[in-house]
Amino acid sequence: MSRTVYVNGVFLPEHDAKISIFDRGFIFADGIYEVSAVMAGKLLDNDAHLKRLERSLGEIGMPMPMPAEEIVKIQKELIARNDIVEGTVYLQVTRGAADRDFPFPPADTMQTLVMFTQKRDFTNSPAARAGIRMATVRDIRWERRDIKSVALLAQVLAKQAAAEKGCQEAIMHTADGVVTEGGSSTIFIVTANGELVTRPLSNEVLPGITRQSLKLLCDERGVPFIERAFTVDEALAAPEVFVTSAGSFVTAVVEIDGKRIGGGQPGPVARRLREIYLDEAVKAGV
């Protein structure tokens, strides 16, 4: 059965969905995207995702295409029409279609807004049960990684390089070995004394929404949450490593560049944090 998708005000079958070849998202990657997870038919952390959407759009001089509450109505309609119990809702806003020219088009150019769903089986995820393998890749991205741009070529290349090594995710790092983030995730290490360590927010990393929610949960429970830079060598020596994202929640890393992390299986901290996050996120979902 064909999915129902949303394109510029219309719900339609995916095979009928079309946008202009002059769309600036297609030509210049001039757009912003967000992905919200769905569990038990509910959107998780969606308010935070839409706030990040508005911020990212503002950073590139674009307004929201419509009020956030209208976007939520469309997301929920797509979830219902596509019978999504577990999965994701993808949302993309571009500056619209105009003849190819680098400067912004006229102010009255209509933005493009598309949304679609993907079914996922989070509950029975092999990655959640067994953990994932990661490969180190040099971070070659631009300096505004805090903007959730659709320009993802560097991440595509990083994740492909990891896939060619039999890994599910890339761990990106600077020339001097400092970890930035994953190809599509935030990376944490767990220290020997139980502290969670992740890179502080700046224009060098995306402000992860699952990261944000996990920090609040850790603060409430008195779990040490340390924001500082760490190196690939520290990650390799850590008792536990895990990643967070809207599509992976909290997922343990069991191997980096062929070296086992901890005992080569998901550790107790990552397993417990995943349970806590999912329990609280579903309770608060809409």
Whether 215 is catalytic: no
CA-to-CA distance for 127 and 280, rounded, in angstroms? 21
* Contact between 249 and 278 (Cβ < 8 Å): yes
* The two structure tokens encoding residue 29: 């990657």
Residue 179: strand pairing partners: 173
12-20: list long-range contacts, CB under 8 Å, 24+ apart: 14/116, 17/114, 19/97, 19/112, 19/114, 20/97, 20/112
Cβ neighbours for 245, distance < 8 A, ≥ 6 positions apart: 182, 184, 185, 186, 208, 210
Q: Exactly one of 18, 76, 119, 148 is catalytic; which is it?
A: 148
Helix 68-81 to helix 46-59 angle, to the nearest 10 degrees? Answer: 130
Residue matched to tokens 């997922």? 251
Catalytic residues, by residue number, are 148
